[in-house]
Amino acid sequence: SFNLPCGVSFDSLYAPLFASGFVIYPGQKELETRIFRIAVMGELTSQDIDECAAALGTFLGTAAPVAETVAAG
């Protein structure tokens, strides 16, 4: 489990990661808006980890905080 960055919603993080081939899951119950989870099924390579980290970095480097997105919308 990882904390969602301040101002980033789960839904805004899910779509670009899914498009990159990674599926994340929201936190449960009271953690739903505060964390996201990454699970592994099957073989995991160091390249997989690098690609997931790169996808996260790409998104977080371009992500507008939720408050800014809503205000601009």
d(CA 65, CA 59): 12
* pLDDT confidence of residue 72: 47
Please name the residue ranges forming H helices in 27-65.
46-62
Q: List pLDDT tens digits, range 23-40.
A: 999 999 999 999 999 888
Q: How confident is the model at residue 50 (pLDDT cuts 50, 70, 90)?
A: confident
Mean pLDDT of 54-64: 78
Is the pLDDT at 66 greater than 70, yes or no?
no
Phi-psi region of 35 (alpha: psi -120 to 50; beta: other; left: phi over 0): beta
Three-class DSSP category at 52: helix
* pLDDT confidence of residue 35: 93
Tell me the whole-structure pTM to 2 decimals. 0.71
* pLDDT confidence of residue 39: 84
d(CA 41, CA 43): 7
